[in-house]
Amino acid sequence: MKFDVITLFPEIIENYCSASVIGRAFKQEIVSVNTVNPRDFSTDKHKKVDDTPYGGGAGMVLMCQPFYDAYDSVKKLENCASIIFTPQGKPFNQEMGKNLSTKDQIISICGHYEGYDERIRQIPGLIEVSIGDFVLTGGELAALCVIDAVTRLIPGGIGKEESAEEDSFSEDLLEYPHYTRPNDFRGMKVPDVLLSGNHQEIAKWRKKQAILRTQAKRPDLFEKFMQREHTKEEKAILKELNLWI
Ligand code: ADE
């Protein structure tokens, strides 16, 4: 997977992508990240990338030319998703992350200041993506969320593939609770079943906890889970919990 990020602040992207688990995927060349600064493409003698808005008003607007030229310099592969980050976009979620993980290239356009010239949104094939109903100062954090979530879905991206499979959201359920040593911490004990060595019972307990947690914390997801097909094991648990209808 090749990530190209068009940004006026390349160091934000580079710093994050060189650290932690995601940094390892980059070092192992499972994914690569390349930043492109529209300022380097500005034809203005002062390397300007923004200008005052037509019609007046406060703030500056990012200009088309540096962004179009930066985009054209990286758009190479056929199996490519091009994203512009804005609070007006389609909300990002795990399903979108899964679809994006099948691409060979993801190009992200990050804006700053007041906004973009509307014509930047008209780059052919561009999709608008939001990471939530709040306004950030720029698209970099949003691009990093997508890069992070997609990298861990790429085979080998986080080492153990089954950990991504078992994630919250991968089957419309939140994750079950995890414990490690010690077995008793300040009087808080690890559930006995996890010490039993009975793998079937452990799997059943985990699924039950995942269902109960989802019901308590995310009624919207729980409704989605209840609508989908259930495995034999899930049906048995739902009956036990009096949730089977
Ligand atoms: N840019 C500013 N706010 C944003 C958001 N919530 N999502 C994506 N990009 C943004």
What secondary structure does DSSP assign to 112-143, as a single string? Answer: -SSEE-GGGGGSTTEEEEESSSS--SSSHHHH
Structure tokens at 227: 């609508």
Structure tokens at 21: 């688990």
Domain residue extents for the chain: 2-162, 184-240
Residue identifier of the C-alpha nearest atom 7 of ligand 1: 130
Task: Give the active site residue among 87, 121, 206, 218.
Answer: 87
Q: What separation in angstroms does the CA of 201 have from each of 53, 170, 188, 212?
A: 64, 22, 21, 16
Q: Is 167 helix (H, G, I), strand (E, B) or coil?
A: coil
Tally Cβ neighbours within 10 Å of residue 3. Answer: 23
Is 114 part of the annotated catalytic residue set?
yes
Is 128 part of the annotated catalytic residue set?
no
Residue identifier of the C-alpha nearest atom 4 of ligand 1: 87
The CATH homologous superfamily for domain 2-162 is SPOUT methyltransferase, trefoil knot domain (3.40.1280.10)
CB 25 within 8 A of CB 153: no
Task: Give the active site residue among 4, 38, 66, 152.
Answer: 152
d(Cα 1, Cα 35) in Å, to the nearest integer? 14
Per-residue pLDDT tens listing for the chain (245 residues): 999 999 999 999 999 999 978 888 888 888 999 999 999 999 999 999 999 999 999 999 999 999 999 999 999 999 999 999 999 999 999 999 999 999 999 999 999 867 899 999 999 999 999 999 999 999 999 999 999 999 999 988 876 655 666 677 778 999 999 999 999 999 999 999 999 999 999 999 999 999 999 999 999 999 999 999 999 999 999 999 999 87
Q: How far apart are the CA of 125 and the centre of ligand 1, in A?
A: 19
Is 182 part of the annotated catalytic residue set?
no
Q: Is CATH 1.10.1270.20 the right assignment for the domain spanning 184-240? A: yes
Structure tokens at 204: 């059943």
